[in-house]
Amino acid sequence: MSATKSKLNEFEKKNPFNTPSGYFERFTFEMMSKLPERAEAPANVVSIWSRMKPLVYMAAMFCGIALMFKIFTSNTGAPDVQSGLTFTSPSEIEDFYTYYEDQLAIDNYRQSLFIEQDSDSK
Amino acid sequence: MEFYNEEDVLRQLRSEDLSVQKKGFEKVVAFYSEKLYWQIRKIVLSHEDANDLLQNTFIKAWMNIHLFRGEAKLATWLYKIAVNECISFLNHQRAMSQVSIDNEADVFLLNRLESDTYFDGDEAQMLLQKAILTLPEKQRLVFNMRYFDELPYEDISDIVGTSVGALKASYHHAVKKIEKFLTSQD
């Protein structure tokens, strides 16, 4: 590297290029006269939708989260307090099952009657 | 030259009044034209080409001044436009004249240099320019900015969009190649 530097140092760091006389003095004036016409930069008009978009997206996201939360919590097997079937004592449960057994017996009896009637008619 | 205050100029360039913008831009042209010219001239070598490219650079800057957000320095933004203009110009010229950069030197630029009436260097300086022309384009850019203009690597990095580490390596390789060329000419 030092050899390289010394080799380069043999050359004067002088600018070997020149320009026509008065070039830089004239340049600004000539350049400004050549500038193309430019329309005013359009003002940045922000539409109402553009302004509201983040808020709308955020609201939609919260609605989605709330919906998912509701779906997941409703499937956790928690007791359904809205069904209307509430028992306050073991005797009430027993009465409930007795009632259903009676209903089932009556249904079976009726069904057997229909079957007999059908076989008689044939 | 009128006192140049970049903050005031930037305020003028951001004005909604076109005439105020134009006044600000005039100050930019007056302040940066010489610096940009020499940067361009070292890339394209001929005065005529450098003059055309300098004008194109300012026209592009004027048409796109609303895109300048002030994140980088105005000088860096202008240098970037100028360098891109030069690279596009050279690629176009090479394609037109169907010459490519060979292993010896960039033939198109060598011809431009030898025919340029505004080159007043001696034989040694012509030799150095020829040595620089043996470099690949990016190395040549880096070498010119670092060796002649002594720009900090950070500024060069902003202009050419390459990391400082890669630039240092590039400059090192450039210097080695130039030394090799110069030694072979002894």
Determine the pLDDT at residue B166.
94
Overall number of domains in chain B: 2
**Mean of the pLDDT values across residues A11-39?**
89
pTM of the model: 0.68
**Mean of the pLDDT values across residues A103-115?**
80
**Both tokens assigned to B59:** 């026209």
Q: Which residue, of B84, B101, B117, is where some domain finishes? A: B117
User: In 10 A of CB B83, how many CB atoms?
Assistant: 21
> Which of A7, A12, A15 minimises the CB distance to B183?
A7
CA B180 to chain centre: 25
- Statement: residue A103 has pLDDT above 70: yes
From A12, A3, A14, select the one nearest B178 (Cα to Cα).
Answer: A3
For an interface test with B, give the residue of A31, A34, A40 to mutate (most B CBs within 10 A).
Answer: A31
Looking at the structure, do residues B101 and B185 belong to the same domain, yes or no? no
What is the average pLDDT value for chain B, to the nearest integer? 88
Looking at the structure, do residues B112 and B134 belong to the same domain, yes or no? no
pLDDT per residue as tens digits for the range B75-129:
999 999 999 999 999 888 888 776 655 545 577 888 888 888 888 888 888 889 9
Determine the pLDDT at residue A59.
93
Please judge whether B62 and A38 are an interchain contact, meaning their C-beta atoms are less than 8 angstroms apart: yes
pLDDT per residue as tens digits for the range B135-168:
988 899 999 999 988 899 999 998 888 999 999 9
Q: Which residue of chain B has the CA closest to A22?
A: B34
From B22, B21, B20, B29, select the one nearest B1 (Cα to Cα).
Answer: B29
- The better pLDDT of the pair A98, A10 is held by A98
Q: Which residue, of B60, B89, B117, is where some domain finishes? A: B117
Determine the pLDDT at residue A94.
83
Please judge whether A14 and B128 are an interchain contact, meaning their C-beta atoms are less than 8 angstroms apart: no
**Mean of the pLDDT values across residues A57-86?**
77
What CATH number does residue B45 fall under? 1.10.1740.10
> Which of A3, A17, A38 minimises the CB distance to B118?
A17
Looking at the structure, do residues B147 and B108 belong to the same domain, yes or no? no
Q: Which residue, of B79, B96, B117, is where some domain finishes? A: B117
Please name the residues between 16 and 35 in chain A that touch chain B, using a CB distance below 8 Å: 16-20, 23-24, 27-28, 31-32, 34-35
Determine the pLDDT at residue A1.
46
Sign of the CA dihedral with B124 first, then B130, B135, and B140 last: positive
Please judge whether A1 and B183 are an interchain contact, meaning their C-beta atoms are less than 8 angstroms apart: no
Determine the pLDDT at residue A117.
64
Determine the pLDDT at residue B96.
78
What CATH number does residue B184 fall under? 1.10.10.10
Looking at the structure, do residues B101 and B134 belong to the same domain, yes or no? no
What is the average pLDDT value for chain A, to the nearest integer? 78
Looking at the structure, do residues B108 and B134 belong to the same domain, yes or no? no
Which residue range forms the structural domain that includes residue B169? 121-186
Q: Report CA-CA distances (Å) from A11 to A16, B101, B127.
A: 11, 25, 10
Determine the pLDDT at residue A41.
56
Determine the pLDDT at residue B110.
83
Query: Of all residues in chain A, what percent carry a pLDDT higher than 90?
Result: 26
- Statement: residue A42 has pLDDT above 60: no
Q: Does A121 touch chain B (CB under 8 A)?
A: no
User: Of A9-13, A116-120, B133-137, which range is least confident?
Assistant: A116-120
Looking at the structure, do residues B113 and B147 belong to the same domain, yes or no? no
Looking at the structure, do residues B133 and B93 belong to the same domain, yes or no? no
Three-state secondary structure of B110-171: HHHHHHCCCECCCHHHHHHHHHHCCCCHHHHHHHHHHHHCCCCHHHHHHHHCCCHHHHHHHH
Which of A50-54, B2-6, B95-99 is most confident?
A50-54
